[in-house]
Amino acid sequence: MSTQHALLISLIEKPSSGYDLARRFDKSIGYFWHATHQQIYRELGRMAELGWIAADETAREATTQPTTQPAAQSTDNAAPEGNAVEKKNRKKVYGVLPAGRQELVRWVLSPGAGLDQREEILVKLRADAAIGPLGLDQEMLRLIALHEERLALYRNIERKDFAGTLDRRQKIQHALLMRGIQFQENWVKWGRELLPLLEKADKA
Amino acid sequence: MSTQHALLISLIEKPSSGYDLARRFDKSIGYFWHATHQQIYRELGRMAELGWIAADETAREATTQPTTQPAAQSTDNAAPEGNAVEKKNRKKVYGVLPAGRQELVRWVLSPGAGLDQREEILVKLRADAAIGPLGLDQEMLRLIALHEERLALYRNIERKDFAGTLDRRQKIQHALLMRGIQFQENWVKWGRELLPLLEKADKA
DNA sequence: CTGTGCATGTAAGGAGTTACATGATTCG
DNA sequence: CGAATCATGTAACTCCTTACATGCACAG
């Protein structure tokens, strides 16, 4: 399971609440691993039970040197001594415990599945091949637009975040972005070429 | 849900048993939509209930009670004399009924999600970026090899099945194959470029 | 007569989706 | 004050994965 591990990474990059994570999964790491807020809260709960992470009031920290430091995170939420209040609803900031870090390393180095694609449109195209032209060009146009939009987004990120010289961390993150860019470029080009084949005959 | 629809297409292309389908999902359509044999049998059962497909010798005990529980296993079993013929275990060849075909068309033309990638290795790389070089080059090499293997397979299929002039059906199927080829080429190239970044320092 | 391939399933559990619910804070 | 947004969760359900179970047919 990778959702937990994606969350661990996000938490290492920056200790966060479930809500923060949910928003972050709508961008950055969510671009290559999607998760909804319900999933996130559930996995946070499980990982807390497993001792991989902990909410701030409980034994926060222990890892030696997180690569990124949150720097100016409003320090006002201290009050460690007398809390005991248990306000039901207040923000819980989770941090990664040593066990969580270990688990992450273990998982990163364990062999993964690789190549098991699941793209709906490919199945639809196969159907279109089998049972006559159904007018898939409309759907295809829609998807091309989506991929172009995403491509533009990635290119903007590249321009903004990856100019100048990069350290190792940035180089890898840039490579991840490039993967996305190349994938989208490739997809759009392929889709455009395919388009003429999909028109329904009676359109003429 | 697309597994059902992938099965419908396979059955339209050629009426088959669950077993046949499972084997076919290890190639051709399985290249872009994976499914295990358990999934296949379950979905076949459901689609049969829905009236989308039917096994060839339909008369098979469908005569009286529509919702017969297929339980009747283990101990209580008695009286093989009841309906003598019907060997329990023999091959069921399913074919698509009009309702199934309609459903397939409906689904093909309905808008799908598009872009929600989920590639484990990308998450792992992000982790490697965040918490030092962990030695991901080994895993990366493994994956590159997998993708190259798949690429070679695709190229063989192209050479064998798509020479000469093609009709529309073949053109689309060729485009699907090309999608796979381009994806794999792209992936391998990207992976090779990334590799130098992943070596663990102490390897020197 | 034993192993391999054909052929069909059940059971249990984990992961993901969709819908609903609720209270707190902030801002105009 | 009311609406938007922050923030956390439950419940029900579907889908996917892994392991197990059974029985027939045929070849060596």
Q: What is the pLDDT of residues B50-85, one digit of tens each?
A: 999 998 864 333 333 333 333 333 333 333 333 333
Q: Look at residue B198 and tell me whether its pLDDT is greater than 80.
A: yes
Q: What is the pTM of this model?
A: 0.84
| Burial of residue B102, with CB atoms counted within 10 A of its CB: 0-12 exposed, 13-18 middle, 19 or more buried | exposed
Task: Give the model's pLDDT for residue A57.
Answer: 63
Asked if B114's CB is within 8 angstroms of A147's CB, the reply is: yes
Asked if A182's CB is within 8 angstroms of B186's CB, the reply is: yes
Task: Give the model's pLDDT for residue B86.
Answer: 44
Task: Give the model's pLDDT for residue A187.
Answer: 97
* Average pLDDT over chain A, rounded to an integer: 83
* Average pLDDT over chain B, rounded to an integer: 84
Task: Give the model's pLDDT for residue B69.
Answer: 37
Tally of CB atoms within 10 A around A35: 22
* DSSP type of residue B95: E
Give the pLDDT band of residue B88 (cuts 50, 70, 90): low
Which of B106, B110, B117, B125 to probe by mutation at the A interface, max A CB count within 10 Å? B117
Which of A115, A168, A182, A200 to probe by mutation at the B interface, max B CB count within 10 Å? A115
Span B168-197, average pLDDT: 96
Q: Which two tokens stand for residue A54?
A: 């902990």
- Cα(B150)–Cα(B38) distance, rounded to whole angstroms? 25
Q: Look at residue B107 and tell me whether its pLDDT is greater than 50.
A: yes
Angle of CA points A175, A180, A185, to nearest 5°:
120
Tally of CB atoms within 10 A around B134: 17
- Phi and psi for A82 in degrees, rounded to 5? -105, 15
Nearest residue in chain B measured CA to CA from A199: B168
Quickly tell me which residue has 């991989």 as its tokens: A52
Task: Give the model's pLDDT for residue B60.
Answer: 39
- Cα(A43)–Cα(A51) distance, rounded to whole angstroms? 12
CA distance A44 to chain B (A): 17
- Provide the percentage of residues in chain A whose pLDDT is more than 90: 70
Nucleotide lying nearest to B118, CA to C1' measure: C16
- Give the CA-to-C1' distance from B72 to D25 in angstroms: 25
Span A184-200, average pLDDT: 95
Distances (CA, A) of B88 to A201, B70, B75, B83: 47, 11, 16, 11
Three-state secondary structure call for residue B118: strand
Three-state secondary structure call for residue B24: helix
Task: Give the model's pLDDT for residue B197.
Answer: 94
Task: Give the model's pLDDT for residue B68.
Answer: 34
Q: Which two tokens stand for residue A16?
A: 């966060």
Among candidates B2, B31, B178 on the partner chain, residue whose Cβ is nearest the Cβ of A190: B178
How many residues does the structure list for chain A? 204
- Cα(A143)–Cα(B12) distance, rounded to whole angstroms? 26
Give the pLDDT band of residue A39 (cuts 50, 70, 90): very high
Which residues from A are below 8 Å from B168, CB to CB? 129, 133, 197
Kindly give the pairing relationship between strand B94-96 and strand B53-55.
antiparallel
Span B153-159, average pLDDT: 96
Give the pLDDT band of residue B202 (cuts 50, 70, 90): low
CA distance A52 to chain B (A): 16
pLDDT, tens only, A118-147: 899 999 999 999 997 999 999 999 999 999
Chain D footprint positions (protein CB, under 7 Å): 6-11, 14-19, 22-25
The more confident residue out of A29 and A190 is: A190
Amino acid at B112: G
Kindly give the pairing relationship between strand B53-55 and strand A53-55.
unpaired
Task: Give the model's pLDDT for residue B89.
Answer: 58
* CB proximity A110–strand D (7 Å threshold): no
- Give the CA-to-C1' distance from B107 to C9 in angstroms: 28
Tally of CB atoms within 10 A around B90: 8
Q: Of all residues in chain B, what percent are helix, strand and coil, respectively (each to 5)?
A: 60, 5, 40
Through-space distance between the first and last CA atoms of chain B, rounded to whole angstroms: 50
pLDDT, tens only, A96-114: 999 999 999 999 999 988 7
Kindly give the pairing relationship between strand A94-96 and strand B53-55.
unpaired
List, in order, residues 6 or more apart from A147 with CB less than 8 Å away.
A184, A187, A188, A191, B114, B115
Which residues from B are below 8 Å from A133, CB to CB? 168
* DSSP type of residue B101: H
**Three-state SS letters, chain A:** CCHHHHHHHHHHHCCECHHHHHHHCCCHHHHCECCCHHHHHHHHHHHHHHCCEEECCCCCCCCCCCCCCCCCCCCCCCCCCCCCCCCCCCCCCEEECHHHHHHHHHHHHCCCCCCCCECHHHHHHHHHHHCCCCCCHHHHHHHHHHHHHHHHHHHHHHHHHCCCCCCHHHHHHHHHHHHHHHHHHHHHHHHHHHHHHHCCHHHC
Q: Look at residue B106 and tell me whether its pLDDT is greater than 90.
A: yes
Q: Look at residue A63 and tell me whether its pLDDT is greater than 60.
A: no
Span A49-71, average pLDDT: 56
- Phi and psi for B15 in degrees, rounded to 5? -55, 135
With CA atoms as reference, report the closest residue to A104 among A199, A11, A204, A28: A11
How many residues does the structure list for chain B? 204
